[in-house]
Structure 1
Amino acid sequence: MIDIGVNLTNKRFEKDREDVIRRAQKAQLDGLLITGTSVAESQKALALCQHYQTSFPDFLFSTAGVHPHDADHVTADYLEQLKLLAKQQQVKAIGECGLDFNRNFSAPAQQQKVFSEQVALASELQMPLFLHQRDAFEPWFSTLSPYFSEVPAMVAHCFTGTKSELTQCIAADMYIGITGWLCDERRGQSLRDIVSLIPLNRLLIETDAPYLTPRTIRPKPKSSRNEPCYLPFIVKEIASITGLDQEEIAWQTSRNAAKVFDFPSKKEMI
């Protein structure tokens, strides 16, 4: 299994980050993709990959991008900074980038500008896009549409959209990232109703740790903090809903992630 969305730079991991990584390996994970949400956080994500390369070879990778929440705070040279990060072998995608009109922590017009520039950058560098979208599907999808054949892969991170939105994303050959949101029958029922529509060769799994801890974990963890080692609970829930075999889901999603993000090959993924 590969966790394609881990906020490992988050301060909630400061005291035991190495133990978190070890627990992920003990849970049979083959790799973690650390999310970059600003230039500074993307630099931190890369630094973690480099710091742990000796202890955990070919296990940690990262993205480089600016989240819509941070769009108001970019510097004039932020694209050049992202380009420099993207040259590093551990950096596997541009993002997390996109649009978030739910909270509007950054002005919508600025979100759109920064998002469009990162989509163009991914096309220029021929790198995958790690995408965020909330309450902004139509402008988000319209921004991406001209690049469907220009960008190697697009990943709809932490998908929580409607059936219509999912259908459009799949028709555009996007990959769909599923998190512990699926494990919450209170707010995740609409996703539970449509997850079976995702072709297995388009499915990716992620914890979005430290957020979205699966509610299905038993015994219930003492801490509300999510960890990569809980990824198997997401696989188990997908299997329960779809009727697919857990091992098949784990194998295929790992293969998908290795393909999209150019992870080092492991014999069990071939």
Structure 2
Amino acid sequence: MQLIDIGLNLSHDSFDRDRDEVWQRARDAGVVQAVLTGASREHSPKALALARTRPGEWFATAGVHPHHAVEYSEECDAEMRALHAHPEVVAVGECGLDYFRDFSPRPAQRRAFERQLQIAVDLAVDGVGKPLFLHQRDAHADFMAIMKQFDGRLGPVVVHCFTGTRAELFDYLDRDWHIGITGWLCDERRGQHLRDIVKNIPANRLMVETDAPYLLPRTLKPMPKDRRNEPGFLPHIVEELARDRGEDVAVTAANATATARAFFGLPGIG
């Protein structure tokens, strides 16, 4: 079984002490490739630098998360565009809207989101925009309104770490967008509704991710003492996802991996 973690914050400082060991554990668990999340001016270049150390295994995104939207200046836009010139950077993002935390003012979030959608449009190849790695929390109406402004110009879209409602899920699927599922599924306090709706995601629209070091699956046993999530825990998420979808684990894993490879344009692993 081969798995691809499409959302891994490997540049996070909690991995500085043992990054290679973390990845070896992931490889031992069947995780063969990962897309390292770039979510700020600081961490997008770090994600690229890491990706370049393991060609064919690690790739990166480059973007500015809504939490950091206030840093999205003209200089920041130029920096993001320069990062996207590198082949290891396979998607624009993480970007989007987050009205749950509101760490940046909402107008700044919307401006930063629009600027990054424009990057994806500008980087189109053969008329297809660069893949988008998106975040949305408690901002669905504004998120959809901004995306509508770019109708017909965007390439592949994944709403990563999906935690929303059934109605939101179908809004995304109706537009042929992809869905990223994390260990949020395993949280009986706030993720129970996901167990009832993940079966509605077509196999060619579903991808899996840990969002490590965040979102440690609450059903994992034994729990790591430091409470840090790792890419090596992705098989646990896939097992729970397969059960909720009524599928064999091998089927869920194979489909999610094939979908991720197609979405990001990743090479196969022998």
TM-score normalized by the length of structure 1: 0.94
SS at match of 1:77: helix
SS at match of 1:30: strand
Which residue pairs with 2:10 in the alignment? 8
- Per the TM alignment, residue 79 of structure 1 is displaced from its structure 2 partner at its CA by 1.5
Deviation per CA, 1:209-248: give whole Å up to 9, x if none.
0011112222232220000000001110011111111111
- Per the TM alignment, residue 144 of structure 1 is displaced from its structure 2 partner at its CA by 1.0
Matched, 1:24 2:26: yes
Q: What is the distance in 1 between the residues matched to 2:115 and 2:177?
A: 19
CA RMSD of aligned residues (A): 1.2
Aligned with 2:253 (options 246, 250, 255): 250
Deviates more, 1:217-226 or 1:107-116: 217-226
Please show how residues 1-270 of structure 1 align to structure 2 within 5 Å.
1-50=3-52, 52-53=53-54, 57-125=55-123, 126-266=129-269
- Per the TM alignment, residue 145 of structure 1 is displaced from its structure 2 partner at its CA by 2.1
Q: Is the 8 A contact 1:64 1:82 kept in 2?
A: yes
Match for 1:17: what amino acid?
Answer: R
Match for 1:225: what amino acid?
Answer: R
Structure 1 gap segments, 5+ residues each: none
Q: What is the distance in 1 between the residues matched to 2:222 and 2:66?
A: 36
Q: What is the distance in 2 between the residues matched to 1:139 and 1:75?
A: 21
Q: What is the distance in 1 between the residues matched to 2:152 and 2:249?
A: 32
Q: What is the distance in 1 between the residues matched to 2:151 and 2:176?
A: 8
TM-score normalized by the length of structure 2: 0.94
Q: Is the 8 A contact 1:148 1:172 kept in 2?
A: no
Deviation per CA, 1:127-180: give whole Å up to 9, x if none.
111000111001101111243432220010100000100001000111000000
SS at match of 1:78: helix
Q: What is the distance in 2 between the residues matched to 1:65 and 1:157?
A: 14
Q: What is the distance in 1 between the residues matched to 2:134 and 2:179?
A: 10
SS at match of 1:133: strand
Q: What is the distance in 2 between the residues matched to 1:101 and 1:221?
A: 31
Q: How many pairs align? A: 263
Structure 2 gap segments, 5+ residues each: 124-128
Deviates more, 1:87-96 or 1:21-30: 21-30
